[in-house]
Amino acid sequence: MNPYRTNRMRTRRFGKGRQLRNWSIGLISACLVLTISPSVAAGPWDNVSAWETATVTRIVDGDTIIVSDSVTGASSRIRFLGINTPEKDNANPGQCGGWQAMDVLAELLPLGTTVRLLSANPNSKGKDARPQRVILAPNPITGEFDQDIAWAMAERGWGLWFTIASEAAMSSLYREVIAQAQEKRIGMWDPTLCGELEQPDAQVDLRITRGSRNSTLVDEWVTVRNTGTTDIDLTGWKLRDSGNAGHFVFPAGSVIAPGDFRAVHTGAGQPGKPDAHDLYANYTRRLYPEPGNNPGALLGDGTYLLDRYGNYRFWREYPCTTECEINPLNGVVAIQDLSLGKKKGKTRAATQWVRLINRGTETKCLDGYRMETGNTVYRFTSGTCLAPNGTWLLRMGKGKSTSKATYLGSTKPVFWFNQKLTVYNDLDQVIARRSW
């Protein structure tokens, strides 16, 4: 007889008054397969299976443990799904919060704890062929394995949102609880965790421009803009993504005046060229992939700015997690007019254009914005800003861009059969739209 009952979604307590979520599950102990009761509505545990039962033998760091399989006795190094905690590195200085995250995990999973290991695919593996799993610990009240340890770490502020396309069943829930920890500024989000609060008046806005699949790595960049009223010195500050491969340290002299910015490109290039604002991380692969928008399997990434002590100060994560078909600027930036052009071919392309207007009372910068119509995408260059009542003109044909007009360089009509033009921000929220 199955000793584990299927229960509807509810809230449970874990440890000292901490709340964790418990989802509708049914465990068949003999086969170690997680199933959903037909009477329970589909949820985040759909298609997620319990492949192993094991005993915790070692805590490696905040998101990695070593376990002994309860059946075979084999030892495995398990990487958590859903989060990425600060690294604990004995050979190098490590990352701010690495040891603290490890200590928190050790409290949640004492050595000798029996756990169940879940994944959508039993062959799911990450770096160094480590099995990737959701770790479920037993509930001390009921004995059921319904305590998600990665969720507990994220709730306490120890984890970046880290998604994998093939293992994203829980990703939206991790994103939600991480956002709550960020708002509370707890755990790794505490700006004084690993040193004094450097430049406490600094105000920085981060925007991500994602390149297309066929574009170069230089076409992917992060805009770092000073939105405060005083200069900020980013010398020695670090920009990173949610993984551990993309780290860029700002060089000496990175002083940014109010309203000014730097554009940190993923690919290789010479700093200060072609524009004085350009910097290059010199990486050979993309850091910011296209997001998925399935609510049950949310995919995305983020960019994070850390001070010289390693404290997390500013961040930007995509995509939006609520309704994306909204205008967060309330019509401030709008499509004022567009032309479908005249005649055919190059002539029509040369006579097609779109004009945006800022109807607000403050200057608006379009860092990370893009326009799409059919298969044509235009990504706004960093520094494209509209003063109050100011306009910006994009001509679809060929020409030399000036302060009065930007040219796309197309020899074929762009506005024709597509019948729709949409402006998005870097969170994939709709800013403006025009149909014809």
Over the stretch 362-386, which tens digit does the pLDDT of each residue have? 999 999 999 999 989 999 999 999 9
From CA 288, how far away is CA 221, in angstroms rounded? 9
- CA separation, residue 424 to residues 163, 209, 297, 335, 436 (Å): 22, 11, 22, 12, 18
Residue 418: the pLDDT is: 77
Q: What is the mean pLDDT of residues 140-152?
A: 91
Do 181 and 193 contact (CB within 8 A), yes or no?
Answer: no
Residue-wise pLDDT tens digits, 187-223: 999 999 999 999 999 999 999 999 887 889 999 999 9
At position 307, the amino acid (one-letter code) is: D
Residue 92: the pLDDT is: 52
Share of the chain above pLDDT 70, in %: 87
Residue 31: the pLDDT is: 30
Which residues make beta-bridge pairs with 56? 67
Residue 126: the pLDDT is: 86
Residue 23: the pLDDT is: 34
Does 127 or 285 have the greater pLDDT score? 285
From CA 107, how far away is CA 352, in angstroms rounded? 63
Share of the chain above pLDDT 90, in %: 71
SS3 at position 211? coil
Count CB neighbours of 41 within 10 A: 10
In this prediction the pTM is 0.86
At position 73, the amino acid (one-letter code) is: G
- CA separation, residue 131 to residues 65, 79, 208, 424 (Å): 11, 6, 31, 37
N-terminal to C-terminal alpha carbon distance within the chain = 64
Q: What is the mean pLDDT of residues 344-349?
A: 93
Which residues make beta-bridge pairs with 303? 241, 316
Residue 159: the pLDDT is: 96
Tokens 């796309």 found at = 408
What the block records as the tokens of 192 is 């004084």
Most confident of 34-38, 142-146, 168-172, 349-353: 349-353
Residue 389 pLDDT > 50: yes
328: preceding bond cis by omega (within 30 degrees): no
Task: With cut-offs at 50, 70 and 90, classify the pLDDT of residue 2.
Answer: very low
H or E segment to which residue 347 belongs = helix 345-350
Residue 166: the pLDDT is: 86
Lowest-confidence segment of 52-61, 86-95, 318-327, 417-426 by average pLDDT: 86-95
SS3 at position 423? strand
Lowest-confidence segment of 76-80, 294-298, 299-303, 328-332 by average pLDDT: 294-298
Residue 297: the pLDDT is: 81
- CA separation, residue 30 to residues 71, 76, 145 (Å): 11, 21, 15
Domains within the chain, CATH numbers bracketed: 10-189 (2.40.50.90), 204-318 (2.60.40.1260), 333-435 (2.60.40.1260)
Residue 32 pLDDT > 90: no
